[in-house]
Chain A
């Protein structure tokens, strides 16, 4: 950081290309005091969480269907694998036509970015359940319906599902910021775009830093910890 500030002063590049450390810190402080950054973070997180909830439920539902019904897996399942290779931002033009330049478009592509991965992880998780657990459950009287689903399929597939959640979260983040760059409203992506419009590189850099911090916090502190705990409890790792 010292090198950064020193380089800025010695080489003296223009601040409309890249800000100095001092400018960045000032802008960061201003952003928080004036509430601009907080508002953007709030707006982005709201969209992210809504989209994430949608993709988790939809993804898990699809995954379960793929795992349980071969016909669905052969048709829609194949399509999903193809769709997964498409970056969800590619759907944004469609979303704009359908929903306009608004939150719904952003939520739509964010959810789209996370759903496919989630469904594939769920499917793998359920497929990989060892037959002995299914048999043991049946012999203890779970039958083959709802009880089996809730008490065996979901918990047994949980380590896989958790990995899916983590990867989906990362995908959702990416899609969200990309979507916000284009759509209207208050959010980190829009703020980034505003910064470009105003030539405020310090603001732009701040947004990037905030995205990195939020990403690290959510991944490392929330998901990784959850996953590690889970792995220990399931005896997959000591």
Chain B
């Protein structure tokens, strides 16, 4: 359904130089799959999503959705953004109905459909509110409803829960899983949160940085609905941790410009030894 082959993406920089963000990325996402792209910041995971959404063009390689190359952004691949992207001058109801309006649907019909989606994300009471009157979690729910109402085959989610607090995020994870189980949409989920990726996805694609490429793929074969205490989840999580440790080190070193810094696994801090027994 989504097929990316040998894709490169190069950004032109202001000084005329070039910056390679993605190098030889290939991936396939099947219909109805929930796939996460996981990686440290700056690895180009959002760029992949932007290309699939149609906001950016590839430099080379092939990207096909339903066997066709991507031309423009469109409602068959709706994006849910990190910063909700709701229109502040419209109420929740009008925000959700916005896409349907573009299709030329009549007011009564589109409000009916929009209300139905608003009910699925448990916001019926807030349909006539404006976005700034809602909490962060409610805004993100509205954004999800606005995407779902278009009945897209693919849902592209760009770190949708990254700006939320932990409790809200956990609730929304469950809701998203429910929605996905009910609707069977294909979801590409971008995140830098390992637990989030493992809890939600069928497959997790771990990316490496500079230039960004797919480093490794992990299948999460745990029962649905997912349970945080499931041992399969923990196992995959620690595997991904190991896989990412090298990447994180690379990023940290680059940002701190310090070779001696290490966040390698199983290293024990000197501090603990220094104080050993001092509390007796």
Does A133 lie within 8 Å of B87, measured CB to CB?
yes
B126 at the interface (CB under 8 A from A): no
* Stretch of B30-38, B98-106, B164-172, B263-271 lying at the A interface: B98-106
Interface residues in B74-103 by Cβ distance below 8 A to A read 74-75, 77-79, 81, 83, 85-89, 98-99, 101-103
Q: How far is the CA of A155 from the CA of B91 in the complex (A)?
A: 13
Chain B residue at minimum C-beta to C-beta distance from A238:
B132
Does B98 lie within 8 Å of A139, measured CB to CB?
no
A156 at the interface (CB under 8 A from B): yes
B5 at the interface (CB under 8 A from A): no
A152 at the interface (CB under 8 A from B): yes
Chain A residue at minimum C-beta to C-beta distance from B143:
A136
Partner of A234, one of B89, B101, B102, B146: B89
Does A140 lie within 8 Å of B102, measured CB to CB?
yes
B53 at the interface (CB under 8 A from A): yes
B44 at the interface (CB under 8 A from A): no
Chain A residue at minimum C-beta to C-beta distance from B134:
A235
Does A140 lie within 8 Å of B78, measured CB to CB?
yes
A141-B74, A141-B102, A233-B130 given as contacts; is B81 within 8 A of A136 (CB)?
A: yes
Residues of A within 8 A of B99 (CB): 140-141
| Residues of A in contact, count (CB < 8 Å) | 20
Does A133 lie within 8 Å of B85, measured CB to CB?
yes
Does B102 lie within 8 Å of A147, measured CB to CB?
yes
Does B89 lie within 8 Å of A132, measured CB to CB?
no
Does B77 lie within 8 Å of A234, measured CB to CB?
no
Partner of A141, one of B75, B89, B131: B75
A158 at the interface (CB under 8 A from B): yes
Q: How far is the CA of A130 from the CA of B101 in the complex (A)?
A: 22
Does B53 lie within 8 Å of A156, measured CB to CB?
no
Does B81 lie within 8 Å of A135, measured CB to CB?
yes
A142 at the interface (CB under 8 A from B): yes
User: How distant is B2 from chain A, measured CB to nearest CB, in Å?
Assistant: 16
Residues of B within 8 A of A147 (CB): 102
Does B89 lie within 8 Å of A156, measured CB to CB?
yes
A135-B79, A139-B77 given as contacts; is B72 within 8 A of A155 (CB)?
A: no
A57 at the interface (CB under 8 A from B): no
A216 at the interface (CB under 8 A from B): no
Q: What is the interface of chain A mostly: helix, strand, loop, or mixed?
A: helix
Interface residues in A111-144 by Cβ distance below 8 A to B read 132-133, 135-143
Residues of A within 8 A of B102 (CB): 140-142, 147
Does B87 lie within 8 Å of A156, measured CB to CB?
yes
Which residue, of A133, A136, A151, A233, has the highest number of chain B Cβ atoms within 10 A? A136
Does A135 lie within 8 Å of B85, measured CB to CB?
yes
Q: How far is the CA of A158 from the CA of B132 in the complex (A)?
A: 16
Does A138 lie within 8 Å of B72, measured CB to CB?
yes
B227 at the interface (CB under 8 A from A): no
Interface residues in A199-238 by Cβ distance below 8 A to B read 233-235
User: How distant is A227 from chain B, measured CB to nearest CB, in Å?
Assistant: 14
Residues of B within 8 A of A132 (CB): 81, 83, 85
B interface residues, Cβ below 8 angstroms from A: 53-55, 72-75, 77-79, 81, 83, 85-89, 98-99, 101-103, 130-133, 146, 150
Given contacts A143-B72, A151-B98, 10 further A-B contacts (CB under 8 A): A133-B87, A135-B73, A136-B81, A139-B54, A139-B73, A140-B75, A141-B150, A156-B89, A233-B89, A234-B130
Q: Name 25 interchain pairs, CB-CB below 8 A, sorted by A.
A: A132-B83, A133-B85, A135-B53, A135-B55, A135-B81, A135-B85, A137-B87, A137-B98, A138-B54, A139-B75, A139-B77, A140-B98, A140-B102, A140-B150, A141-B75, A141-B102, A141-B150, A151-B101, A155-B87, A156-B89, A233-B89, A234-B89, A234-B130, A234-B132, A235-B88
